[in-house]
Amino acid sequence: MTIKYWLMKTEPTTFSIDDLAAQVDQTTCWEGVRNYQARNLLRDEIEVGDRVLFYHSACKQPAVVGTAVVCKGGYPDPFQFDRKSKYFDPKSDPSNPRWYLVDIKLERIFDTPVTLAQLRDRASLKEMVLLQKGSRLSVQPVRKKEFDTVVKLAKSL
């Protein structure tokens, strides 16, 4: 099995890394993704054991705030069928689900977040999907060398 690397964005006012830390077994499902490109990654690409950069977006200081590991691969997002959920999708069919999610487990909270500005300052990260103009996906691939660079940077701050 080859480990792959990902970045998952979340707004900290919606679900922060501290919220993940407070979950039972520090584990949660990554629900609510409603973009087809990101859905395809969740459904088809992300696997148990893959590593995740946990990224706080849409906040005063966007930053990678820690890491997680995928502990359950893609499966249908049950919220798409729940009429009371904000993620309910009346067009989704249980026999052919439209939306998928994965489960992640907290691995580490960085003592000091690695800010977007710090990421942009690293020449070795210039090709990182997050740093590309127009990149808005909430789930995106990361190269191993990019993952390692961010983790190393976090340790040096």
- pLDDT cut 90: percent of the chain above it: 97
To the question of pTM greater than 0.85 for the whole model, the response is: yes
Question: What pLDDT digit, counting tens, does each position of 30-58 carry?
Answer: 999 999 999 999 999 999 999 999 999 99
Mean pLDDT of 85-106: 96
* Domains in the chain with CATH codes: 5-156 (3.10.590.10)
Residue-wise over 90-128: b if at least 16 C-beta within 10 A, else e?
Answer: eebeeeebebbbbbbbbeebbeebbbbebbeeeeebeeb
Phi, psi of 96, rounded to the nearest 5 degrees: -150, 75
- Asked if pLDDT for residue 128 goes beyond 90, the answer is yes
How distant is the alpha carbon of residue 51 from its chain centre? 10
Q: In angstroms, what CA-CA distances link 153 with 24, 54, 132?
A: 29, 14, 20
